Structure 1
Amino acid sequence: MPKTLSVVKKEIHDSIARPDSTGLSPEESSLECGLSVPVLHEAAFYGLAGEFVKALSPHTEADPAAVLIHLLVVFGIAVGRGPHLIVDGARHGANEFAVTVGASSKARKGTAEARTKETFLLADPTFMERRVKGGLSSGEGLVYQVRDPVESFNQREGEWAISDPGEEDKRLLAIEQEFGGVLRVIERDGNTLSAILRMAWDGSKLSPLTKGNRIEATDAHIGMIGHITKDELLRRFKETEAANGFGNRILWVYARRSKLLPEGGSFTGQAYFGEKLRLILDRAKGIGKMNRSESFRRAWVQAYPVLTSGGAGLTGILTNRQEAHTLRLAMVFALLDRSDTLDIQHLRASLSITDYVRETIEWIFGKKLGDRTADRILECLAGGPKTQTEIYLSFGKHESGAEIERAMKSLVDAGRVTSSVQKTAGRPRILWSLAV
């Protein structure tokens, strides 16, 4: 019998304890909205990244998980395109997309960003001042920020000349404090932002298919950090963005206020960590193809089948790039360790984060399927058994009978709904209900 995800994680973590020193609030094990909130495993707080989070934690209300993911994503872009892995012919760099999701506007998502940025300003001021931007509004606008030089024919001189020198530094970190705005942009017909972001995560050549627009970008190294509340994400996120692969290129990270500090904190470690990160970045930027140790390979053989096994519903769709995220995060942990070789401790740390991402997705979306009609039927049946007529009426004539029937069949096939016969004075009624 194949091992379950929990069994593989337990074996790889080697019984590492749950967090007890990262500054998490006492109610970490409480319930929120009927679901256990995600808890980040202690193994994620490995190396310099973990040292930074633990040193900062007493002085900030930001969630340690949010601080950690900010540091990892910022570092992964600041280090540039050099460090990479080749997996089955595909190139994976250290660039990542992450969105912190708070239960409310007071989850201190922006605080995690600010604390990380002030430290990286000391480590790589040029990158932080010139290559960290916000306001994603179109695919073409994103490509322009990392564009290649453009040549134009000068008719007067009769020769080709550089008309636009392009952007020499191909690193770009987009920080979107209102990620809901990005989702609104993506909803517009004809907007290319989703497609360009997907290509950017892949590290592909960026070449928008727009009439009269010849800008392109090769060897770009792009990352993204976004902030959004759970309620807005549920309102804005469409199943198309899940199905087309945009959603599973994102590390969804649950964040909440870790503690109350009415007078703020007094963190004084910026200079110490800034200098450490500067030295590590200087070395890491010169690294090319990275290696994997034998212990990493053995553990990866265990984890890989589970990471690639997929899953049901929207959770399965949004986590079907877990193996790629795990490798990219492991690379970052290795680089922070001043190493060009991924080892088992780097895998432990990265698996802890991808596990947390899965828990976050389950916390946000519950058992949604990613099929709007089917999910609407499940919401209808959550109030108790319904007849087929009642289910049809719940759509208020805004959906065709054929579409509702298709969704009902898919729910039956998935074992999510069952039917029963209710006797009446006349013809018996068929009642539909949620499967137990």
Structure 2
Amino acid sequence: MNHAARPLRVVDEPAVPDDASPDEAEAIAEVARARAALPTVDPAVFDCYLGTLVEAVEPHTEADPLAILASLLCAAGVRLGQDPHVRAGDDPHPLLVWPLIVGRTSAGRKGTSWSSARRLLRAADPDFVSRNVRSGLTSGEGLAAMFVDDDSDTTPGRLPAGDRRLLMLEPEWAAVMNRMRREGNSLSATLRAAWEGGDLSTLSVNARIAPSSHVGLLAHISPREFRDKVSASDMAGGTYNRFLPLAVARSKFLPEGGAVDADTMTELGTSLADRLIAGASLDTIGFTTAASQLWRRLYVEFGRDHGDDGPVEQFIARAAPNCLRIAAIHAALDFSDAIKPNHLTAAAALVRYSIATARAVFTDTQTPARLLAWIAEAGEQGRTRKDITTGFFAGKKKAADINALLEQLIDTGRITRSSRPRVDGRGGRPTEVYTAQTPRT
């Protein structure tokens, strides 16, 4: 069954109603500009059971549907528990996916995406949401303490004895990055072990015995925060190649808000609960014959050296296992102990978008996509040539290279060039202004 029909609508740029006020029209145009700067989404991303949940809630929220989907993926993998897993060679992989939701502070609607996912999860398993979702990563010892079964341990918020499932929601990942960089903080190393579903025991002064874990991590950050705070040593450490970066933006303008009605939410929650319970009873998730053949091709695609370096190289280093984990979650939620081609197709589409995100957001700012987004942020006022030369490129880009980038964006219809008189009232050459074009709806 093809589930992609409705979500396709929300990745298109929103239309301006005929009765919209000038302010509303500008707000809608701003949404369109932000969405135009995102990488292209393959609608196959939504061709899965979780895509049908997104389809049901997306008309009622301004959140990016991709962010809702990723939040549900992360939470479902944690809720399914430690028994279902998929193997890559000799390595068992828990069904853990760590989305890094990347969007501008106000326009990304990152928190709104979690609100939509959380309401679905509460309808399916309210106890899981209240007991197994936490925020506030501070140190490796603090994370390990969540899994200690010692009754004498009084760590606040500790998981129920024997329960290894923990979903860490970090809406301010920039603050966590600051903590990880403090001397002596073991959080980075502990997170790397957690992605493997590993032993988080510590041998520090405050030793913790935590022999197994099942940690999902859902983090939110703005592009600028990440670029400002990440260092070469952070990337080289290997923590970030566990993450799945996903660029998002507000999907629509809903001045009167919106919410899924209670009856529909109950129905969706019951359906999700049934699939989570059935999926949790699985053990090793294998492949159908057709899926095995497709996986071989995807393994080659995601395992090749594509010549990327810096942050991109780190983020795509585990593209293949991330694809495998996502596909296995899709299979488990379809009552299947074998990954099928449609599960891999949806997973691969999400991983490709993640790779595109890394290339568009985390490379240096000297790219057409980043320049377009920066120009779009200025709205109708646009950016002057001086703004671009000194503000965006900090005077470090040759004029000929800037010309080439601007001409590329003009030729593809993404920006327009105009001129206006100098604001200082002096004569001379008019000021060049570059303005992002609102995409056609």
Same fold (TM over 0.5): yes
The alignment status of 1:225 with 2:226, answered yes or no, reads: no
Give matches, 1:360-399, under 5 Å. 360-367=357-364, 381-383=396-398
Note the 1:110-189 alignment, pairs <5 A.
110-149=111-150, 167-189=161-183
2:315 to 318, 325, 332: 318
Q: Hey, what does 2:197 align to over in structure 1?
A: 203
In the alignment, the residues of structure 2 paired with residue 151 and residue 20 of structure 1 have an alpha-carbon distance, to the nearest angstrom, of: 52
What is the Cα deviation at residue 85 of structure 1? 1.4
Equivalent residues in 2 for 1:17-28, closer than 5 Å: 20-22=8-10, 24-26=12-14
**Which amino acid in the other structure matches residue 382 of structure 1?**
K
Q: What amino acid is aligned across from residue 102 of structure 2 in structure 1?
A: V
SS of equivalent to 1:290: strand
What is the rounded CA distance, in whole Å, between the counterparts of 1:128 and 1:61 in structure 2?
A: 22
1:197 maps to a residue whose letter is: L
TM-score by length of 2: 0.74
Task: Supply the distance in 2 between the matched residues of 1:165 and 1:355 (Cα, whole angstroms).
Answer: 35
| AA aligned opposite 1:198 | R
Deviation at 1:217, TM superposition (A): 1.4
1:61-90 deviations in Å (ceiling 9; x for gaps): 000110100011111101101100122211
Write the distance in 1 (CA, Å) between the matches of 2:152 and 2:362.
Answer: 48
Contact conserved, 1:139 with 1:196, CA < 8 A, in 2? Answer: yes
1:92 is paired with a residue whose SS is strand
Q: Match for residue 51 of structure 1?
A: 52
Instruction: Specify the alignment match of 1:344 in structure 2.
Output: 341
Name the counterpart of 2:280. 285
Q: Does the C-alpha gap of structure 1 residues 141 and 320 become closer, same or farther in structure 2, counting only changes over 3 Å?
A: same
For 2:140 and 2:226, locate their aligned partners in 1 and report how far apart those are by CA, in whole Å.
21
Aligned-partner Cα distance in 2 for 1:379–1:337: 51
Q: What is the DSSP-based 3-state SS (H/G/I as helix, E as strand, rest coil) of the residue aligned with 2:215?
A: strand
Paired positions, count:
350
Q: Report deviation, 1:166.
A: 7.8
- Matched residue type, 2:320: E
Equivalent residues in 2 for 1:233-244, closer than 5 Å: 233-244=226-237
Question: Which one is further off, 215-224 or 73-82?
Answer: 215-224
Secondary structure of the structure 1 residue equivalent to 2:169? strand
SS in 2 for 1:85: strand
Relative to structure 1, is the Cα distance of residues 165 and 353 closer, same or farther in structure 2, using a 3 angstrom cutoff? closer
Q: What is the identity, as a one-letter code, of the residue corresponding to 2:258? A: G
Listed one character per residue, the Cα deviations across residues 193-248 of structure 1 (whole Å, up to 9, x for unaligned) are: 111011000112112241x3331212310011111111111111222221111111
1: CA distance between counterparts of 2:364 and 2:305?
15
How far residue 103 of structure 1 moved from its aligned partner, in angstroms, is 2.7
> How many angstroms does 1:47 deviate by?
2.6
Q: Provide the rounded CA distance (Å) in 1 between the counterparts of 2:30 and 2:199.
A: 43
Task: Give the stretch that moved more between structures: 256-265 or 141-150.
Answer: 141-150
Q: Which runs of 5+ in 2 are unaligned?
A: 15-28, 367-392, 401-441
Matched, 1:302 2:302: no
Summarize the Cα distance change of 1:103–1:51 in structure 2 as closer, same or farther, 3 Å threshold. same
TM-score when normalising by structure 1: 0.75
Decide which structure has the larger Cα Rg and report it. Answer: 1
- Which amino acid in the other structure matches residue 163 of structure 2? D
**1:351 aligns to what SS in structure 2?**
helix
Q: Structure 1: which 4+ aligned runs deviate by more than 4 Å?
A: 16-19, 27-33, 378-381
Contact 2:31 2:251 in 1 (8 A): no
Please say if residues 80 and 221 of structure 1, whose CA atoms lie closer than 8 Å, have aligned partners that are also in contact: yes
Q: Which moved more, 1:165-174 or 1:200-209?
A: 165-174
Percentage of identical aligned residues: 31
Range that drifts further, 324-333 or 302-311: 302-311
- What secondary structure does 1:112 align onto? helix
**What is the CA–CA distance in structure 1 between the aligned matches of 2:321 and 2:238, rounded to whole Å?**
13
Per-residue deviation at 1:348? 0.3
Structure 2 counterpart of 1:236, one-letter code: K
Q: Which runs of 5+ in 1 are unaligned?
A: 1-15, 153-163, 370-377, 386-436
2:327 match: secondary structure: helix
Shift of residue 366, structure 1, vs aligned partner: 2.7
Does the CA contact (< 8 Å) of 2:168 and 2:216 recur in 1? yes
CA RMSD of aligned residues (A): 2.8
